[in-house]
Copies of this chain bind each other. A is one copy, B any other.
Amino acid sequence: MTHASPISATIDFDHDGVRHGFLKLPHSHDGSAWGSIMIPITVARNGDGPTALLTGANHGDEYEGPLALFDLARSIGDQDFTGRVIIVPLMNTPAFHAARRTSPIDGRNLNRVFPGDAAGTVTEKIADYFQRVLLPMADYVLDFHSGGKTLDFVPFCASHVLDDKANQDRCAAAMKAFNAPYSVTLLEVDNVGMYDTAAEEMGKVFISTELGGGGTARAETVAVARKGVRNLLKHAGILDGPLEEAATIHLDMPDGRCFVEATSVGLLEFCVELGDAVTAGQCVARIHDVHRTGGEPTEYHSQLDGIFIGRHFPGLIAMGDIVAVIAVPT
């Protein structure tokens, strides 16, 4: 049996104008028997044209997307545009308020529960609403990510290798238009349950980003996000004017050798900075035993020639954590 979504929008999607409102998700809990989660949303429409669906805080501790999107929601009405822009700056609102990757309510990672479940947990209900209501409305889909509290990245826009090569090209073109400092063709190791996959399987033009991390945002990475979303809307024909373009470095991630993994625990030291070129066999990081002084740290080496584009962020690290990510210029 398929349930209707329990989520209702307080604004409509179909009339011209700019409306600020909420996606309201009823949530009965110990703190409020008759409470609701209120997910802020802005819908801006002006005549016929393509629809762009723009999201931030799919993971609640990633901030460049929400910053760019709160700004766009406030300013979109001041600009000439054609078609429709749907802005959800805080896709996983409970996770965002908790400053956590996952939801504090059900512990779920929104980006691993698609297609969701209208009768499931809070996070599954959000996924279901995007799957069945919002994604079908969209032509272009941009989902902002950053590294969150435990990862840090050079700022990049990403598209995927897809079975549908025509759509893969459309997505790659959108990534190029976004024009982040780095552009990465990702082959996801595990794409089951991702919003990305849900959008791509519907044939939408989908791009995502990794724009820094550490659970913070910097002026420069926010500027990348703002320029990128403007460029995407221009690329889609929703905004007018030429793209704002600067150099971007194209990178591939060929296989699992991109990932350097920790097999020891302790205090993490990097020997290179994000963006540095590294060579296969080069020591990129060391892990120090913290129980006593006088011992030798364990060294971790790159398995590829490439660029150091991502890293574990916290000062301490556990066995099995990804230490470093190396990508290969194309």
Contacts and interface: CB of A to CB of B under 8 A. Distances in A.
A312 interface: yes
Contacts of A35: 150, 318, 320-322
A192 B3 contact: yes
B150 A22 contact: no
B273 A99 contact: no
A224 interface: no
Of A41, A102, A291, which is in contact with the most chain B CB atoms at under 10 Å from its CB? A291
Contact of A32 (B61, B264, B321): B321
Interface string A36-50: 111011100000000
A108 to B, nearest CB: 10
A228 interface: no
Contacts of A292: 20, 22, 40
Stoichiometry, as copies per complex, reads 6
Given A66-B267, A119-B192, A263-B38, A218 B273 contact: yes
Q: Which of A29, A70, A102, A192 has the most CB of B within 10 A?
A: A70
B96 A290 contact: yes
A314 B100 contact: no
Interface string A14-56: 0000001010101111111111111011100000000000000
Interface string A241-284: 00000000000000000010101110111111100000000000
Contact of A261 (B27, B29, B36, B322): B36
Interface string A123-159: 0000000000000000000000001111110000000
Interface residues on A, range: 35 or more
Contacts of A320: 22, 24, 27, 32, 35-38
Given A32-B318, A40-B293, A67-B269, A216 B313 contact: yes
Q: Which 6 A-B residue pairings sit nearest by Cβ, starting from the closest?
A: A36-B320, A20-B294, A63-B315, A73-B293, A34-B322, A38-B320
23 contacts: A26-B189, A26-B190, A28-B101, A28-B112, A30-B149, A32-B318, A32-B321, A32-B322, A33-B150, A34-B312, A34-B321, A34-B322, A67-B269, A70-B293, A74-B296, A97-B290, A99-B314, A99-B315, A152-B216, A215-B315, A216-B315, A218-B270, A265-B291
Given A29-B102, A97-B290, 4 more contacts: A40-B291, A67-B288, A99-B314, A216-B313
